[in-house]
Amino acid sequence: MKYYNAQLPQTEKVAQNLFILIKTERVEIKPEEIIYMQADINYTTFVTLNRRFTTAFHLGFFEKSLETHPYLIRISKSFIVNINYLKDLSWHKVAKEARLLDGTSLPISRRRAKELKSVLWQKLNFSA
């Protein structure tokens, strides 16, 4: 990823999957298999259907890399979640949480709550 170029020409084809180096192994990650990503300073932890691992890139890097996948939504400074794995939302004035199918609860920031609500509303309208 040393030579990653965030500004690709629109005519350039981009791979649909991520390839991340873990130790000496090059691992392919399908974006639709990502349940959520968690930031930890300059590291990102991926939780997928099959595994959990940490990379030495910050969450913003992956947010830009995966922006063509509308089901991956940033819900706070520290989390990007795949809305296809949402079970339900806890929407209280004091705290908002996204509960996932695997039982994990993730905090939703006040700033990101409106965007999440809009995306979910659009998804409901398109599926109806």
- C-alpha torsion 114→116→118→120, nearest 10: -150
Q: Alpha carbon of 36 to those of 3, 93, 101: distances in Å?
A: 25, 24, 11
Residue 107 domain-assigned?
A: yes
Give the domain range for residue 34: 18-127
Q: What is the CATH number of the domain that holds 58?
A: 2.40.50.1020
In a domain, 45, yes or no: yes
Is the pTM higher than 0.85? The answer reads no
Q: Is residue 11 part of a domain?
A: no
| Per-position pLDDT tens, the chain of length 128 | 444 455 545 444 444 567 877 778 888 888 999 999 999 989 999 999 888 988 888 999 999 988 889 899 999 999 999 999 999 998 888 889 999 999 999 999 988 988 888 888 887 776 65
The number of domains in the chain is 1
Distance (Å, whole) CA 38 – CA 100: 14
Residue 4 lies in a domain: no
In a domain, 105, yes or no: yes
